[in-house]
Amino acid sequence: MQPIGKVLVELGYATQGQILSVLARQMKIPYVDFSERKVNPNAVTTTPEELARRYTVIPIDFDEDRLLVVMADPRNVLAVDDLRIVTGYEIKVAISTKEDILQAIDQYYKQAIETGDDFASLETPDELEIQEVAEDAPIVKLVNLIITRAVNDRASDIHIEPQEKDMRVRYRVDGVLHEVMRSPKQIQAAVLSRFKIMASMDIAETRKPQDGHCGLSINGKAIDFRVATLPTVYGERVVLRILQKESIMLKLDDLGFLPESLERFTSAYLKPYGAILVTGPTGSGKSTTLYATLNVLNTQAKNIVTIEDPVEYRLPGINQVQINTKAGLTFSRGLRSILRTSPDIVMVGEIRDQETAQIAVEAALTGHLVLSTLHTNDAPGAISRLTEMGIEPFLISSAIDCVQAQRLARRLCKDCKEAYKPSRQALLEAGFKIAKDEEVPTIYRPKGCAKCNGTGYKGRCGIYEVMLKSEEIERLTVGRASAEEIKKAAVKGGMKTLRDDGLEKVLIGTTSIEEVMRVVV
């Protein structure tokens, strides 16, 4: 008697892919559609082609310490055991059609042979000149693959990390690191040297951290990379920061402001003078917000000057100054010089010390619009931070028109987000105010699909807390009130806290409760 699935396929009521998709759900394993799923060429090289064809399997990616292998028959225990022995990895199985797997073997093993054979021919780094190896075609090809894939995957950073037995590559996508490949230990030195050559670093210096940068054209787009090395016990670690021009040309409307928050922030930067501070931890999107604001303010009638460390993005029509501490050009010294060039708007990359803070406050009080960043957990905390730096409270109260705290949360994937009703207790724990007789709202959670690489999230949105100056806040500032007292007055005056802003974005389906809890303390 034929299996019912085979009968349905023969009668034309279902495709083999549809049958296997149902079977995968029953077995609680992934079903792989090769037209939607990327294949990691580094995973392919872990398994000999002969073994892949014998069992009709193909390794397609790494899942933490496991190798993800697509099989026509995932119940073949012998195949799984052989793969574990040959590759040295624990095996995570997935299922697909026999025809699709064989087609993938034809396609990807042909690509892997070109690179894999080249790597196999390499000697260990000690036996060859590192620079010569770093410029060999297979190494160049691998490095280009790592960079191109990172750009295509919307990564913000690439982490090249030597391990005890191999080399790990991770991408930071939407603020979270994901492992994408592992490479043989024997090519580690050559790969790291290739990155250093591209960034004009000293490849012979492996004991000290180095910084560099390079520019490449990828998919027709000019992209800058900031490169940093750090010696570790297993070799030099390299991190590349990907700086895409498009990401900094965003409009404020695209950043995720709720209408009332954007209206409050806009009212501050449209003033001819005063200071606007954007606060938050590293990686919370502060620079993006400032650049988006400068894009709005950048007109022929304005003289805009920035002082940054480093200048990550070049903005047409804006005079940008790079900090150079070795030459004596610090934030404070540079800011003093800028103020002698008749600027209308000044952007200071970061207020790090009392002197810079003092000059920025004085500039805001003498007819300049000053934008800068500060590291505080929330908006009211910026007032206390400036006071701790030694700035007189009466100057702070007069100069600071707006403080905006922010975080970045991952956006739920529009193609797969899943509606559900959480428990009342879960909502209360997250900070929702919900009455006993009030119906629990429907919200969304991540599910995962091919378009979001199975994460359930795609892109990020800002979570904002916009505190505007008021008579009450001025009075509290002059009286050296605590940040908590200032916060109460700000909320009373219409400020949404970071948590409230985040929870509102949960209700409208932009992000999940888990994301808000992750990024908002």
Q: What's residue 262's pLDDT?
A: 97
Instruction: Answer for the pair 108, 159: CB distance below 8 angstroms, yes or no.
Output: no
Instruction: Answer for the pair 371, 294: CB distance below 8 angstroms, yes or no.
Output: yes
Q: How far is CA 41 from the centre of its chain?
A: 23
Residue 332, amino acid? S
Q: How far apart are CA 104 and CA 127, in angstroms?
A: 36
Q: How far is CA 52 from the centre of its chain?
A: 35
Locate the DSSP E strands across 219-326: 221-232, 235-244, 274-279, 304-308, 319-322
Q: How far apart are CA 436 and CA 440, in angstroms?
A: 9
Q: What's residue 44's pLDDT?
A: 86
Q: What single-letter DSSP state applies at residue 353?
A: S
Q: What's residue 122's pLDDT?
A: 44
Q: What single-letter DSSP state applies at residue 456?
A: S
Q: How far apart are CA 461 and CA 502, in angstroms?
A: 10
Q: What's residue 318's pLDDT?
A: 94
Backbone angles phi, psi at 5, to 5 degrees: -60, -45
Read off the pLDDT of residues 350-394 as tens digits, 9 standing for 90 and up: 999 999 999 999 999 999 999 999 999 999 999 999 999 999 999
Task: Tokens for 34, please give them.
Answer: 């090769």
Q: Which domains does the chain have, with CATH numbers?
A: 4-37+53-113 (3.30.300.160), 125-243 (3.30.450.90), 249-409+463-496 (3.40.50.300)
Q: What's residue 16's pLDDT?
A: 62
Q: Please classify residue 232 by burial: count the beta carbons closer than 10 Å to its beta carbon, then call 0-12 exposed, 13-18 middle and 19+ buried.
A: exposed
Task: Tokens for 146, please give them.
Answer: 């790592």
pTM value? 0.72
The sign of the dihedral angle between the CA atoms of 66, 70, 75, 76 is: negative
Determine the angle formed by the axes of helices 380-389 and 483-492, rounding to 10 degrees: 140
Three-state SS string across 66-100, please? EEEEEECCCCCHHHHHHHHHHHCCEEEEEECCHHH
SS3 342: coil
Task: Tokens for 53, please give them.
Answer: 């064809």
Longest Cα–Cα distance of the chain, Å, equals 90
Q: How far apart are CA 360 and CA 348, in angstroms?
A: 8
Instruction: Answer for the pair 477, 486: CB distance below 8 angstroms, yes or no.
Output: yes
Instruction: Answer for the pair 105, 58: CB distance below 8 angstroms, yes or no.
Output: yes
Tens digits of pLDDT across the chain (521 residues): 445 445 344 545 456 666 677 677 777 888 888 888 888 887 887 788 888 998 999 999 988 778 999 998 888 888 898 888 777 788 999 988 888 899 999 888 776 544 444 544 444 444 344 455 455 567 787 888 888 888 888 899 999 999 998 899 999 999 999 888 888 888 888 899 999 999 999 988 999 999 998 888 887 788 889 999 999 999 999 999 998 766 666 789 999 999 999 999 999 999 999 999 999 998 899 999 999 999 999 999 999 999 998 888 888 899 999 999 889 899 999 999 999 999 999 999 999 999 999 999 999 999 999 999 999 999 999 999 999 999 999 999 999 999 999 999 999 999 999 999 998 888 888 888 887 778 899 999 999 887 887 889 999 999 999 999 999 999 999 999 999 999 999 999 999 999 999 999 999 999 999 999 999 96
Omega prior to 310 cis, within 30 of 0: yes
Q: What's residue 252's pLDDT?
A: 92
Helix or strand holding residue 162 (H, E): strand 155-162
